[in-house]
Amino acid sequence: MDKKIKYTFEAHSPIKVKNVPWSYCKYCGLLYLNNAITKWCIKMGCNNSYHPKYKQILKRLAKEK
């Protein structure tokens, strides 16, 4: 039985670690890189992979450079 998990916004909790150049979310592990995909994931929250258009957005943003 395939259960779909519904997307709900859950804010990131960024933390900074000494000697690491990027912040990361302590809940989902997202690295705060300076690119379009990361910016979209930050905007959508920790559950961004459950967003209905997640795969479409990744494909579109990966092609843009």
Q: Residue 55 phi/psi, 5° resolution? A: -65, -40
Q: pTM value?
A: 0.84
Say whether pLDDT at 1 is over 80: no
Burial class (CB in 10 A: 0-12, 13-18, 19+), 38: middle
pLDDT tens readout for residues 25-49: 999 999 999 999 999 999 999 999 9
Where do the structural domains in the chain lie, given as residue ranges? Answer: 35-65
Query: Could you write out the DSSP letters of every residue in 4-61?
Result: PPPP------EEE-TT-SSEEETTT--B--SSHHHHHHHHH-TTGGGSTTHHHHHHHH
